[in-house]
Amino acid sequence: MTEVSQSPLGRPAVHESALGHVTGSARYVDDLPEPAGMLHGLPVGSPVARGRLVARRAERALALPGVRAVLFAADVPGHNRIGPIVHDEPLLAEDEVFAEGQVVALVLGDSVAACRAGAKALELEFEEMPAILTVAEALEAGSLLAPPHEMRRGDVAGAMARAAVIVAGELHTGGQDHFYLETQATLAIPGENDTLHLESSTQHPTEVQVACAEVLGCARNQIVVAVPRMGGAFGGKESQASQFAALAALGARHTGQPVKVWLSRDLDMTMTGKRHPFWSRYRAGLDARGRLLALEVELVADGGWSVDLSPAILDRGMFHLDNGYFVPNLRFVGKAVRTNKASNTAFRGFGGPQGMAVIEEVLSRAAERLGLDPAEIRRRNYYGDCPDEHGPENMVDVPVPDGDQTSAGADVISLVRARCLTPYYQEVPHCRLPRIHAELLARCDWEARRAEIAAWNARSPWQKRGLGFMPVKFGISFTNTMLNQAGALVLVYADGSVQLNHGGTEMGQGLHTKMVAVCAHELGVTTAQVRCMATATDKVPNTSATAASSGSDLNGMAVQAACAEIRERVRPLAAELLGTTPEAVQFAGGAAHGPGGRSVPWSDLAKTAWMRRISLSAAGYYATPNIAYDRTAGRGKPFHYFAYGAAAVEVEISGLTGEHRISRVDILHDVGSSLLPTIDVGQIEGGFIQGVGWLTGEELVWDPKGRLLTHGPSTYKIPAIGDCPAIFNVALLERAEQDSTIHGSKAVGEPPLMLGLGVVSALRQAIAAFGPGEVELGIPCTPEAILRAVVKQRAAAVTRAADAAE
Ligand code: MTE
Ligand code: HPA
Ligand code: MOS
């Protein structure tokens, strides 16, 4: 019998909502029809970064037309404190405020205009207190959000003493606003018997459910949270949708009427947290060939005013200080500090980009000192055996106690010798970077272009070009092991049509499109027969956030399990109808197939199954096996596997204005066996550009009192279409199937963002063309930063010329 293969997997696919996105028919929370009697809820934020709230009066506001109620902390019936890890965030401010924009009151009114008038008429009095606004101030005040995290191995001092090159310095990476197109929004609709239905723009419907239940003092089964879709989230709606949803719930409970809380762009930017700015101090020792011998890093994350997800984000920063490089001797210390700014939160990469930026800075500086190609120095440091480059000499110098084993039971010494042990003692079994590196260099014509660019630069006094390189290795799994679980609920109707429910949320990343494909593949139906339902807590309970790039990994396995169960229940029936054995039946393309070209349509099969009283619905569940991490010991296997990729980036800069343009980008990315290549390529392009935005144009500025000045698109510049490279080649690594993942695929959501660091590498190359010596380039690489770096390089060129003339 021939293989019947009509699976949608691995084929080009259009995002399930693409048409709706471009025609405007795709509905977001604020597009939903407004229920009768609906009120608007407007959160009112603190105008000061730190202070005592000494008076709050609402009488004048309540006297205004259309203002229905004003709620303060005392109006919360249950717990006023929420938060994803620790409950340290007052939903409504109590006696003190800790950041500008911290919500103090909720104004409820008939219209947004009435709420705004009400907010203006509120009488709030603050006694200002001194605020902590920088990482340096926080460190000095000992203002930590969580105990430090430490990783160590070997003999750092000994290795530094043997190093041919020492690179030491400090690095600051800035914050980043999520700038999702759809701002935070939730509609809360009260039901019978103290129940509540919420339509929320959240990555984490369960956390919204939990927060609402706790704030209202009710059981979780009284609350249903549904997510139609999000207009982007990027981590900004992992924990921080909860507060605004809980405010809507509070308003609905208080008034008995539906309440919608929706934030304007300025409010959203002022009230919500951003990517964590990180500050680090590093010291690295390398041998004469540019191989890392030792690395010491103190990594500090600016968490803002509350804990939120900061400890986990710091951890992921620590887990990515190595990027794709083997570091024999090391000591990493991580701290998350509390400052009086909006509470910083998850943002694509979740601390990983900030950690990676440090080791990339180290390698870039070392390459400039040693006169090495930026790709070559990186290649020499990749994980894995590389016999032509890595003599045994620096391996045996890692003192490791005899008999030491990893949590997986492997011998530490042999893993160190094979250069495949991370700083947290997880093995990197088959690092794909050497292969990706070689293929990408060939694809993008690296050597020839380097030579061409050097020749071009020699002729061009004020415009210079640079070719940069950036490899990425990114760990996949929530580093809090417990969160790596997912569920699905599949319903097949008697006409053969399928409703697919799973615990993941759709934010534009194409998760629903992938899940429909997995479901169709598993049942052997067409994608047109499967409808993915809005994510809802009454379909799949106790879900994790759709985050850590693992939405399709986790939910895909759960969908597969649910579908397999239904398929196997109907298999004997199909065999009977086809006159064959159950094993001989194949499900594909909307039919069950037997020998001799016979088939029975899935719709007939479903109908007959119903008549024969065979259950046509099933729940599926998945938990990632064999992962665990011990934060105190700094050891374990936090990740199920690693995703890889690399980018070659060409830029041109102006030495007169500091402006730059990205002329060409080549990316080779490892998504395993791609579930849907068109969706994956979209994630890679978008992630890369978002990374470039973080590293070049996007700059957050606060005034000396800690008030955000860049709270709208006129002052905060995200990349536009004109900033995209003219040549943008994205390819997926072939023959890349991954073990024990859904159909051999790999997560793709976050890793490509870090490829954006390739633009920094490229800019450094272009700047170096202005003069000798190490480049000093601050992040974000704005025109001002680039110009400063160019001026320094040119001064060095003048000095050198003068020296030569003497
Ligand atoms: N892509 C789009 N279009 N919009 C988004 O909000 N979020 C990113 C990434 N890609 C995002 C996106 C982030 S932060 C994560 S963790 C993943 O998508 C989450 O989805 P996944 O786990 O299904 O990849
Ligand atoms: N990544 C993203 N989101 C998370 C994580 C993580 O590792 N842990 C908790 N939330
Ligand atoms: Mo993504 S930062 O894990 O939501």
SS3 string of 389-427?
CCCHHHCCCCCCCCCCECCCCCEHHHHHHCCCECCCCCE
Radius of gyration of the chain (CA): 28
Q: Is the pLDDT of residue 193 over 70?
A: yes
Dihedral angle sign, alpha carbons of residues 642, 648, 654, 660: negative
Distance, CA 47 to ligand 2 centroid (Å)?
31
Rounded CA gap, 352 and 341, in Å?
21
Give the atom of ligand 2 at the shortest distance from the alpha carbon of 478: 7
Q: pLDDT tens across 266-325, in order?
A: 999 999 999 999 999 999 999 999 999 999 999 999 999 999 999 999 999 999 999 999
Atom 5, ligand 2: which residue's CA is nearest? Answer: 478
Measured from the CB, is residue 642 less than 6 Å from ligand 2?
no
Region 110-114: mean pLDDT is 98
Measured from the CB, is residue 348 less than 6 Å from ligand 2?
no
**Ligand 2 pocket test target in 276, 309, 507, 554 with most atoms within 8 Å of CB:** 309
In the prediction, which pLDDT does 69 show? Answer: 98
Atom 1, ligand 1: which residue's CA is nearest? Answer: 509
Give the atom of ligand 2 at the shortest distance from the alpha carbon of 315: 7
Tell how far CA 137 is from the center of its chain: 28
In the prediction, which pLDDT does 396 show? Answer: 61
In the prediction, which pLDDT does 386 show? Answer: 56
Structure tokens at 392: 């045994």
The residue among 103, 28, 37, 537 whose CA lies nearest residue 259 is: 37
Tell how far CA 453 is from the center of its chain: 34
Distance, CA 550 to ligand 3 centroid (Å)?
9
Atom 1, ligand 2: which residue's CA is nearest? Answer: 548
In the prediction, which pLDDT does 83 show? Answer: 97
Give the atom of ligand 1 at the shortest distance from the alpha carbon of 511: 23
- For 110, counting Cβ atoms within 10 Å of its Cβ (0-12 exposed, 13-18 middle, 19+ buried), the class is middle
Q: pLDDT tens across 515-548, in order?
A: 999 999 999 999 999 999 999 999 999 999 999 9
Helix (H, G, I), strand (E, B) or coil at 382: strand
Give the atom of ligand 1 at the shortest distance from the alpha carbon of 230: 6
Distance, CA 782 to ligand 3 centroid (Å)?
25
Catalytic site includes residue 750? yes
- How does residue 4 score in pLDDT terms, banded at 50, 70 and 90? low
Pocket of ligand 1, beta carbon within 6 A: 232-235, 348, 504, 507-509, 511, 546-552, 683, 686, 747, 749-750
- For 794, counting Cβ atoms within 10 Å of its Cβ (0-12 exposed, 13-18 middle, 19+ buried), the class is middle
With a pLDDT cut of 90, the percent of the chain lying above it is 95
Rounded CA gap, 324 and 329, in Å?
15
Structure tokens at 557: 């396995």
**Among 447, 750, 776, 806, which one carries the catalytic annotation?**
750
- Count helices and strands (H / E) in the chain: 21, 31
Tell how far CA 181 is from the center of its chain: 16
Structure tokens at 3: 């293989």
Atom 23, ligand 1: which residue's CA is nearest? Answer: 551
Indicate the pTM of the whole model.
0.97
Pocket of ligand 3, beta carbon within 6 A: 203, 235, 238, 346-348, 350, 547-548, 750
Q: Is the pLDDT of residue 404 over 80?
A: yes
Q: Is the pLDDT of residue 1 over 70?
A: no
Contact 574, 600 (CB under 8 A): yes
Q: pLDDT tens across 464-493, in order?
A: 999 999 999 999 999 999 999 999 999 999
Distance, CA 803 to ligand 3 centroid (Å)?
52
Atom 4, ligand 3: which residue's CA is nearest? Answer: 235
Report the 10 Å Cβ neighbour count for 125.
Answer: 11
Q: Which residue has the tokens 């065999």?
A: 575
Rounded CA gap, 654 and 632, in Å?
48
Structure tokens at 703: 């005034």
In the prediction, which pLDDT does 395 show? Answer: 63
Q: pLDDT tens across 680-725, in order?
A: 999 999 999 999 999 999 999 999 999 999 999 999 999 999 999 9
Q: Which residue has the tokens 């009086």?
A: 340
